[in-house]
Structure 1
Amino acid sequence: MTVGPTRGGAEQRPDGEERGPAGRVYTADFLTELFGNPLDPGYADAAARRRSSPSPSGRPGWSSRTVSLVVVVALGFLFAVAYRQTVAEEPGRSQARAGLVAQIKEREAETDGLAARADRLREEVGRQRDAALSGSQASRLRRLEAGTGLGRVRGDGVVVRLADAPVADKDGLTGSGGGPPRVLYTDLQKVANDLWAAGAEAVAINGQRLTATSTIRSAGEAILVDFRPVTGPYEVSAIGPGALRDRFEDSRAAYLMRDLVESVGLSFQVREVEDVTLPAAPEPRLRYAEPSVSPSPSVSGSGVEGSSRPEPSGSGSSPSPSRGGR
């Protein structure tokens, strides 16, 4: 097939080459050839032979569906083995947890028993002390104990009750819901401080008497009063004058707690009580100050810079000559 001359006088041949006027051969553009036939002829031939000839083992090759089925079966077997192991180990974990819970309850019962025995011994010591002291000295000592929190007190006062917000309903889409707003240790601190400011003479939180050295802190989600955990609902009991409730209702802590009741749903109640008894606080660990040991004075002034010894007076002594023999 003969193709006429192209523009510029070049003659185009059937194989895609062009011959110029001087007989020069022009080949097709490399990029045009690459995009027109991207697969190398050798790869195309190998693929055609593979499709036409059977596998070397004489069996047809595995299809992708067969491989997927094998993978699914293997994963199912692994999940089944893991589930059986988890179920087999569950009794051991349950037993370990039950053992820890039993130990905690046993320690709590032991601690409560020791605390009750300490209270009985404290009362016995108080009776023996009152019998040994005169009446005025014993009454003065009881007043001091009541003021410092080391003695049990009884009288009229108020009880401030704080509780966490109710549990919110779970989300219908995700099946989860945020935890309810909780009473913080700072809330108890504010309430106790404002009760003191309102005129309270004795304050206790869930039966834990507060003193001048008491601490209200948090450890994770637990609240500690003097390093002993307290749980909600929290009752802050106070003994004081008749106007104690009115003064506390006007305090900043009461205002903040009422605002939390309206905003997040915390429970906050203040009520007057009659003839309430607050226990004594545990005996504090006393620390005694000791005077510092002053350095001992040197016996002799020889060899010590700045030291001087008085010259003996009387006969036989003469002042040492000064510089220049004068």
Structure 2
Amino acid sequence: MSIDAPTKVIPQARQITTKPRVSDQIFRGIVTAFSFSALVILALIALFLFQQGFSALKEQGFSFITSFEWNVFIDESGKEVANFGLQAMLVGTVVISFIALLIAVPLAVLTALFLTFYAPEGVKKLLITVIDLMAAFPSILYGLWGYFVLMPMAEYWAQLIHKWLGWIYIFDVPEPIFSRSPFIAGIVLSVMIIPIITSISREVFSQTPLERVQAAYALGATKWGMIRAVVLPFGANGVVGGSMLALGRAFGETVAVFSVLNIVYRTNFQVLYTQGGNVASMIVQKFGEAGKTEVSALIAAGLVLFVLTLFVNFIANAIVNKTVKSGR
């Protein structure tokens, strides 16, 4: 009795296609919709600011950005006369934000490097939790902390800086008054933006390709040599991006600056002296008592701040694309 050999069943050839599954199409549609919603929201904000502030921009023209006066008064004929110029507060915004970045960026980068390459695991987890928590603090808490805790110490630091570097114009003061100055406001802002820069920098540093790290060690590099030759060039893009994100928050910060700065509508490059302001704090100070004409000007000031923030981010992207080098 013979047993027939089993017949081989050849499976049907599977059709290879690049068409995504329905679930992938749905997910892609949801992600795309949320991505475009952010652009739509930004466009609606810009449209609202332009619509509400157009009358002030039309009346003042280009002098709204270049003029150093901001006043509304009634002339002898009973007609309201308004002169709105944002230049003094734009200068204050740039000065305070530059002070904040000058302090925050080195500290944030060094903190990110410590967390990524040096900190023990237990300390690392604790510090990451604290830094992430600091990034979520409301600005009013920073303002109160800056007013009650930081300001007395910062006044002493300002006096020392004036004593040793007072021959430099920006560190000179017309009167020996060091409280509520752009210097103190910059320190408070730096504390606010350090967690943002640190978090982003740490994430980028941790993604440094392992083969590049091992290659640097194989060539005899020390840990610091590896960081300088591989990690920092690789993570420069992330550091710049985090700094620009932090700069956007510094430009628009209101309550913290308002709490520790003597808001005076005057251009002040002497960072240790007790006067100055930024665009956001000026809007808060004047909005409650502003009339219809001045409200339109304040909204136009918000539009200028909005455009300035976008412009800084575009410039940052251009710089990154041209100058950032890959790790070697």
Q: TM-score range by the shorter chain?
A: under 0.3
TM superposition score normalised by structure 1 = 0.27
Larger radius of gyration: 1
Give the structure, 1 or 2, with the largest relative contact order (CA under 8 Å, sep 6 or more). Answer: 2
